[in-house]
Amino acid sequence: GWKDAISTTIINFNNEKMQITWAARELFPSENVSFSYTFAEGKNKVWKPCPTYLLDQDYNSGCLFKTEGPTLAISIRNSNGSEELFSKTLKSDFYIKPNRPENVTFFWKADTVTVSCNKPERGVKCLTLELQYKSKFDKDWQSRTSKCCSVGEQGFDPRKCYSFRVRLKRLVPYCNVVNYSSDWAAETFWMNGTLLDSCDDDIKSHSKTVTVLSCLLAALLVMLILLILLCKWQRLRKSVMPAIPDPKYIFADLFNDHNGNFQEWIDKTDHAVVQTKLEYEEPECIIEAESQQEGEKNCDKQEPQEKIFSFSGAAENNDSKAAEIACLMPTSNTIASFAGFQILMNDDMYVML
């Protein structure tokens, strides 16, 4: 009865290859056993030797061969094959381990993720698709299972990065006697529908964003400080060194009409005749420059008032006798323009401005 107690592990890889393994060192510590198999049924069985042995410390610990039918018979014998140590007949379809999902796609819509893969050629009704995911804040995987070959889940936070992995599972006990699942498909990393190389990229992107914002704020602060210092420097410079007025705004005609030619401008200014209308018509009083006192006697007495006269040609004639000046009563004020100068006469006094 010890032959029935031998433990073996049987795996049918997607109904393509069979793998039978046993604990060689524990079951047969002093002997290197041989293995044979057959998929034929009935009395006329043709036993085939193991094409590929699996070794454990140079001892045969398993056999790998091609799947050729639904019914399998195996036999383990001693090294020369003369004695059978273990035998078993089984249904190979009950030990299928599916291949990993192919062409896995992710579809994002708001907070819902739908994952799908290609349908296998055989045994689709016996398969389910398992989705596992976790964020960088989760310690354990969250699992969701659905019929092959699409599964969806809700409640994903678009601000978090998630790791996803999927695999196919065989239904137990309707299709398998052992709960076999495929290997996990390649793990992928997603954030709000965007595929990332890893969730570390999300952390790096946040750190880069913080760094860029910090640099911008620092630059703005430096610019503000520079503007404040510039304004203070301008005020200090104006207080210490007042600005010199630009003569072109004061003497507009010098620069606009004469293009800055001072000689031309002063010549035309000296020859200009300033004409001022008298506010009141008064009799003109002319005296000779020989005697100011005699001239004042010839002047008629008038009411105290102010008169402005213009003199022309006085600059060209140096003879004072030829010059014409205005005279008023001693109580009056007179302003006269003479050769570019102004003469203020008041109370027998002449003041040239």
Same domain, 89 and 103: no
Same domain, 56 and 27: yes
CA distance 350 to 320: 15
Token pair for 53 = 């042995």
| Structural domain contains residue 132 | yes
Question: Checking DSSP bridges between strand 150-153 and strand 162-170, what pairing results, if any?
Answer: unpaired
Global pTM reads 0.55
Domain extent, residue 155, equals 99-196
Same domain, 87 and 115: no
Same domain, 121 and 167: yes
Q: Output the pLDDT for position 19.
A: 96
**Average pLDDT for runs of 10 along the chain of length 353:** 69 94 84 91 85 90 94 90 87 93 90 91 90 89 91 89 93 91 92 86 57 86 88 76 61 69 72 43 48 48 44 41 40 45 47 46
Same domain, 130 and 170: yes
Same domain, 131 and 86: no
110: left (phi over 0), alpha (psi -120 to 50) or beta: left
Domain final residue, candidates 81, 96, 111: 96
Same domain, 133 and 91: no
Q: Residue 92's domain is classified under what CATH number?
A: 2.60.40.10
Strand order in the sheet with 59-66: 52-56, 59-66, 17-22, 8-13, 96-97
Q: Output the pLDDT for position 182.
A: 94
| Structural domain contains residue 25 | yes
Domain final residue, candidates 171, 196, 221: 196
Domain count, the chain: 2
Q: Output the pLDDT for position 245.
A: 62
